[in-house]
A and B are shown apart, each in its own frame.
Chain A
Amino acid sequence: MQRGRLGIAGWVALAVAALIMVAPLAWTLLLSLKNNAELVGHSEAALHGPYTLQNYGAIFGNSLTLRWLLNSTIVALGQTAGVLILASLAGYGFSRLDFPLRKPLFIFVLVGLAIPSQAVILVQHQLFAWAHLHNSYPGLILPGLVAPFGVFFMTTYMRGIPRELDEAAMLDGASRWTVFWKVILPLTKPAQSTLAVFTFLGAWNDYWWPLISATHSNMYTLTVGLAAAQMNYAQTSGLGYLMAQAVFASIPIFIVYIVFQKQIVRAMAGTAVR
């Protein structure tokens, strides 16, 4: 975008839009820095001091908070790694290999996109109960590995890579695996980054499955743990604490956004796929 073309009206519009976007975040931050009692009935008290870190102190005062943070990290990273591996392999298979029922199988995978997770949650829960996987890391990570979007995404991306590259490598004696590992995979880095970011964010923010699978507090993820730590009527008598939880839980996501900003913007703009 060329700055000169925007004009004053454009800048004003952008500034207003930015203000609208930032205002709730700033409000959340200010509320989190206020004493809960002060905010009951007077949320405008957030606009002036005194400010305090006591709500953050209460979060860290819970001996399990760091454990929940670690659990979320393990689950989110585990799901991200798993999805990248499986989606890349499946994407390569669907885009490059000829095998019986390839097209019907791909359509079958795509159908998975249309099935909401709530529709299978009962069966999934029973299956994991049967396998004694509740309250465990595999129990929290494995369901997230079923990622039809990832398969679709990687297949589409790999289809856009010229087949001539595979053929040239094979003429030089490369095996299928070598072609995948040394030729195709490096070219999919932008797509991998995008998929990784989306998977990580989805896993980090997931609430429903951890809520019913991790029923012991030492296996809670951060989302479930922070919700459990809320007192009843938190929106009225514990507003500052509630907001501090929101800020605390979003810090890792914020970091991911900062680090992978380019990939996220590219993904949103639809340019990661070709």
Chain B
Amino acid sequence: MIRAGAALVIALALGSCAPADHKTHLYLQRFFGECGAEYGGSTDISKAEGECGIITTMIARFNAENPDIQVDVNVVAWPGYPQLTAQVAARDPPDLVTMHEGVISDYAAKGLVEPVDGYLRAAGISPNDFTEAARQGVTMYGHIYGLPWDTHGGLFHVNTALFAKAGLMRDGKPVLPNTGQELLQQARQFEQRTGKPYLIQSNVGDPAFAARNLYTYMMALGAPIFPDAKHIRLNTPIGLTVANFFRRINAERLGTQNMDTPAAIAAFINGEGGIYPTGTWMIGSFEQEAETPGRPLYKSYAVFPYPRLWGQHVEFVSGHSWVVPTRKRSPQQREAIARFFKFMAAHNYDWARTGHIPAFKSVLNDPRFKALPHRADIAPLAEIGRPLPAYVQRQNAIEGLVGEEMAAGFTGQKPVRQALADAERRVNTLLSQVD
């Protein structure tokens, strides 16, 4: 038994030794899941669907088109940052990593990821080609720190059948509000005519939901949410205006109560409310429902960026990007990274089929992109999208704290003013501990 076990371990060890080749190897680490069973070996990107299918096929295609380069893929559990941090600590980081733009500053501030200006130049990519939201998302400390890959943010997913019943359709399009007061009026009208809530909300276990709403409308009102790298300012008249607005929606029961994300998605799909404010990533699933006869959403789905309710029409967004962790690399590897960037930029349209907004202006204006369902309606997100300031570190953790407190404030678990003050205090404590 022991001998058999030892033989097995030795065989495994030997099996792990790859034969030497003459390729330049890049070690790429990504999330988006594993779908080798469905897409393993496929290089036809046009036939791939979903984030996992498309990215798997794209990398296979890159390997096929670049026989002198081998991209070895390591799929990590979402979002992969504990593993990346561990790899950096062990001085064995990958060559390319998928990273949310809000996280780049954590690594860039410590020099753990390289500026990619040189790779972009070598790939013939100009930052002027990026959309405004994408450019802002990867620019910090005077450099570009990643190849932007998409922009994602909140959208108003609309059940047009219920909107029609509520008398809120004009020329075949949903009538979205232009002011906070108008939203409340429409919501009341919607509730009276359909007997259903206007908004579907995931205020339970989804801190991003409340944080996204607060950030978006505070930005619209011109509030400097992060006046500097060490402070957040939420407990202000503007913060109070926005938070009281969402509190009122809940107090008047114009939105669903006590729902987490899966419950809210199910509620929207089953026609239990008018609008579900959630991300770009749900377009594919909702569109599938809209194309299935017999389903509540059948031919009754539209989607738009958050409407302008106050001030400017801007919206809080983030994005996915490819970053290059700092480590020693050969000139061949650096050239391979540039070629990878060039390939990924050239195929940004394929990635936009996931529902995310493209990171390149050329794709945004590409007729193929505009012909995709709903894309013409959501494309403005690329221009109105605003990430948090690049100097703010720990954006993920901050979103968790802000979202947790504001969900409590919006739903009435604690007074709105206290929720704002608590969120501010907790975030400032966190930021005070950041180097």
Contact = CB atoms under 8 A, between A and B. Distances in A.
A113 interface: no
A70 B15 CA distance: 13
Contacts of A232: 31-33, 51, 78, 281
Interface in A49-90: 57-64, 70, 74, 77
A57 B37 contact: yes
A36 to B, nearest CB: 10
Contact of B83 (A40, A211, A233): A211
Interface stretch (A91-99, A215-223, A246-254, A262-270): A215-223
Contacts of B177: none
A37 interface: yes
Interface string A133-169: 0100100000000000000000000000000000000
Contacts of A61: 36-38, 40
A63 B269 contact: no
Contacts of A213: 86
How many residues of B sit at the interface, in one of the four size bands? 35 or more
B258 interface: no
Contacts of A129: 89-91
B418 to A, nearest CB: 31
A237 B75 contact: no
A229 to B, nearest CB: 4
28 contacts: A40-B269, A41-B266, A41-B268, A41-B289, A59-B37, A61-B37, A62-B36, A62-B37, A63-B40, A74-B8, A77-B5, A126-B89, A129-B89, A212-B83, A215-B86, A215-B90, A215-B92, A224-B77, A230-B33, A231-B33, A231-B52, A232-B32, A232-B51, A235-B261, A235-B262, A236-B261, A236-B262, A237-B285
B34 interface: yes
The 4 A-B pairs with the shortest beta carbon distances in the complex, nearest first, are: A61-B37, A41-B269, A231-B33, A212-B86
A132 B127 CA distance: 40
B282 to A, nearest CB: 8
B35 interface: yes
A158 to B, nearest CB: 26
A227 interface: yes
Residue with the greatest number of chain B CB neighbours at <10 A, chosen from A43, A59, A129: A129
Given A42-B269, A61-B37, A62-B34, 14 more contacts: A40-B265, A41-B266, A41-B269, A41-B270, A41-B289, A42-B270, A58-B35, A77-B5, A129-B91, A137-B9, A213-B86, A216-B74, A231-B35, A231-B52
Contacts, number: 108
A266 to B, nearest CB: 26
A63 B75 CA distance: 13
B50 A231 contact: yes
Contacts of A236: 261-262, 265, 285
A55 B399 CA distance: 33
A42 B295 CA distance: 11
A228 B77 contact: yes
B86 A125 contact: yes
Contacts of B92: 134, 215
B288 interface: yes
Interface in A26-51: 37, 40-43
A109 interface: no
Contact of A229 (B9, B12, B34, B261): B34
A228 B85 CA distance: 16
B280 to A, nearest CB: 12
Contact of A74 (B9, B37, B40, B76): B9
A212 B38 contact: no
B33 A234 contact: yes
A125 B89 contact: yes
Contact of B82 (A70, A211, A229, A238): A211
A71 to B, nearest CB: 9
B181 interface: no
